[in-house]
Amino acid sequence: MARIFISLYAGLIAAILLFWVTMVYLYGEREQIESRRILQGYTALSGMIYEMEGEQAWLEALNTAARINLMKIEPVNVDDFLSDEEKQQLHKQGSLARSQQGTPYDEFFIAETTPGAVVRVRYDDSSDYWQESEVAIFFVRFGLFIIIAIALALWLWRFHRKLMKLQLVAQQLAEGNLSARAPEGFFQDVGHLNKAFNHMAERLEVLISSHKRLTNAVAHELRTPVFRLRCQLELLFPNMSEEEIDAFVVSMDEDLEELDTLVDELLSYARMESGRQSVSLQSTELNSWLRQQTDFFARACPKQILFPAENAVAICINLDVDLVRRALSNLTGNAATYAQTTVEVSCYRSGRHVIIAVDDDGPGIPESDRERVLEPFERLDRSRNRSSGGYGLGLSICREIALLHKGRLEISDSDLGGARIMLVLPADLQEDV
């Protein structure tokens, strides 16, 4: 804190001094020109008095003007005060103005009509006014530095308090309190740092919670096929028939395939959630593209897939066809698991979005469970076997694909009586995703 104060204060003082030096350099000569003009006016006036009234009246006029302006007037020997160049200027112009040494004021030299006679007009050092002015100027300058120091200290104190609150939240996050957030508000924010800090904290909370959930779920998911493999290996005795051995080998191969699929799903979800999944957009006429994927969807969905007549309307959108194909494969496969007879795939525009919907005529998804089933390893029935399949990652992957397209995944009720799961994508999606 002290180092920041000293560096900022020194910088401000240096800036003020630089400004003052610049102003003196730019306008100092201008002030001297103004002083010379005023002096020339007084010189012309005093010359007229000298010609009209004589030397005595001229001196009285100079003394009166000097007294009114709190100045001294005295005859001087120019050799003691002026350089050769200044004497030439005095002889040429009849008067000379220059800075008075040791003071911030000017002094004036006026040539009398008598050859070689010169009077010096300067500010009266003994005058209370000029002494008070010098003291006032000193206190003004000193006070300016004090005011700057106080204002800077107050600003840094408030800034330090804001930073200390951020530091406290950072310590709480480091200690495991992932719900800690920095205060936000006009008098609390450090620029946009608080919002960015909270966004980081929210992201950390989601990632760490997801990591814990994935760790627990992976251990649970791997336990079942590994246990089956171990049991089958223990049952492979030499006295078994060839048919029995073949049956066990087929079952073991299915378990290995299940493990391989689980690992692929986990890697895909981790890549998407961490933002490492690349997105390659291409302009696609959605309805014709969906119809071209009928055979692909049929492999994941043994139930009948319908494409409504309104899908004949052309809809062009930029999307990553591979990622969207995978999402729809997951959605149709999920719908086939719960549908009684029919799965319907449709797409349509809704405002500034394009919606790809997958409907089924199954039991549907209760509203209270719609957020939960989008989390990884969450299932509606909370159970899984080889016949039902699935790892609880399908909808999570679909949601990540929607987010990669700056869209979202929504669940609602279907007109068919079951669930409707929708990929809601922006219609004007560009390449910056």
What's the mean pLDDT in 363-375? Answer: 88
pLDDT one-digit tens code per residue, 239-248: 667 777 777 7
To the nearest 10°, report the CA torsion of 248, 250, 251, 256: 120
Q: What pLDDT was estimated at residue 386?
A: 46
- Name the nearest CA neighbour of 188 among 163, 169, 162, 168: 162
What's the order of all strands across the beta sheet hosting 71-76?
71-76, 118-123, 106-111, 95-99
For CA atoms 379, 385, 390, 393, give the dihedral sign.
Answer: positive
Residue 410 β-bridge partners: 422
Q: Residue 187: pLDDT band by 50, 70, 90 thresholds?
A: low
Phi, psi of 108 (to 5 degrees): -125, 145
- Distance between CA atoms of residues 219 and 216, nearest Å: 5
Q: What pLDDT was estimated at residue 296?
A: 80
pLDDT one-digit tens code per residue, 140-171: 878 888 888 888 888 788 888 888 888 888 88
Q: Are 427 and 350 in contact (CB under 8 A)?
A: no
* All domains of the chain in start order, with CATH: 2-126 (3.30.450), 193-273 (1.10.287), 282-426 (3.30.565.10)
Q: What pLDDT was estimated at residue 389?
A: 54
**Does 204 have pLDDT greater than 60?**
yes
Q: What pLDDT was estimated at residue 41?
A: 66
Q: What pLDDT was estimated at residue 424?
A: 94
Mean model confidence pLDDT for the chain: 78
Instruction: Give the containing element (helix H, strand E) for 123.
Output: strand 118-123
pLDDT one-digit tens code per residue, 80-118: 778 788 877 777 777 777 776 666 667 777 776 555 567
Higher pLDDT, 327 or 22: 327
Q: Residue 71: pLDDT band by 50, 70, 90 thresholds?
A: confident
Which two structure tokens, joined as six digits, stand for 430?
A: 């560009």
Strand, helix or coil for residue 347: strand
What's the mean pLDDT in 273-283? Answer: 81
Strand, helix or coil for residue 413: strand
**Does 349 have pLDDT greater than 80?**
yes
- Distance between CA atoms of residues 98 and 106, nearest Å: 5
Q: What pLDDT was estimated at residue 183?
A: 82
On the 0-12 / 13-18 / 19+ scale of CB atoms within 10 A, 128 is: exposed
**Does 203 have pLDDT greater than 70?**
yes
- Distance between CA atoms of residues 414 and 419, nearest Å: 5
- Distance between CA atoms of residues 409 and 272, nearest Å: 15
N-to-C CA span, the chain: 41
Q: What is the pTM of this model?
A: 0.52
Highest mean pLDDT among 66-75, 152-161, 214-223, 320-329: 320-329
- Name the nearest CA neighbour of 347 among 365, 362, 359: 359
CB within 8 Å of 134: residues ≥ 6 apart: 103, 104
pLDDT one-digit tens code per residue, 371-423: 888 887 777 765 545 455 566 788 988 999 999 999 999 999 999 999 999 99
